[in-house]
Amino acid sequence: MGTYGMMHMGYFKLSRLGRREHLALVAFSALFTANIAVSNLSLATVSVPFYQTMRMLCPMFTILIYRSWYGRIYSYMTYLSLAPLIIGAAMTTAGEMTFTDAGFLLTISGVVLAAVKTVVTNRFMTGSLALPPVEFLMRMSPLAALQALACATATGEVGAFRELVNSGQVSVPTSIASLTGNGFLAFLLNISSFNTNKLAGALTMTVCGNLKQCLTVLIGIFLFNVSVDLLNGAGMAVTMIGAGIYSKAELDNKRERLEAQYTPVEQESR
């Protein structure tokens, strides 16, 4: 609804897509839904620290996808920066590591799906389609919502919610207000995420995901008096160092690409 309103306010115009492009959007929405479903399933079979630690591997899988599928090569410093980013973020979220065999496979699958989703999102907005982020979100969201509703119905979640409403354990106005607020926050998050992905790239998005873990802990310290031990504090510092190295490497790479594109023209003397 938010993106539809932005379209009518003139923020963007719909692109003309063919059958192939529409099928690609349907496939991507299925990937989006599968990523959410697998991640939620894995959380029920592994501990939160283990889940968060495995999610730190997203940058590594993103690089593997780009190298194997698109043949992209990164600088030595970019590879070097991933070590403190992954290790530091894992130290920040360190805790009791418990998991089942199925949970381990689901978590790894969720990490791979998250990396694929981030890369494909970037390709939709920067490749041959070059869809504006808001239009891409408007076209994909209804499809993903219908698929998620179908999954919730198939697993009995919709029926269970209906029973809670009928028994009076859940208030309908409160539920509507909660869903509206959650939807508004999701709208803002997706607008920001899609625009950042288009401008900064998929790898930077996954790196920021690792950095987010540290910021979450820092916010918890100041707002909720969350206590952290030496390992968690050192992990935040290591992650920040890795983020600094990565930023420096990306800026250097961008400058080198710009210099390579600029070739001075020599003028003959008369």
Note the residue count of the chain.
270
The C-alpha atoms of residue 134 and residue 83 are separated, in whole angstroms, by: 34
Its pTM stands at: 0.86
> What's the pLDDT tens digit per position in 192-203?
999 999 998 999
* Backbone torsions φ then ψ of 99, nearest 5 degrees: -160, 155
Q: What is the residue whose two structure tokens read 């590879």?
A: 79
Q: State the pLDDT at residue 269.
A: 53
Give pairs for 191-196: CB < 8 Å, separation 24+.
Answer: 191/2, 191/133, 191/134, 191/137, 194/121, 194/125, 194/133, 194/134, 194/136, 194/137, 195/133
Confidence of residue 104 (pLDDT cuts 50, 70, 90): very high
Confidence of residue 267 (pLDDT cuts 50, 70, 90): low
Domain range annotation of the chain: 2-78+96-198
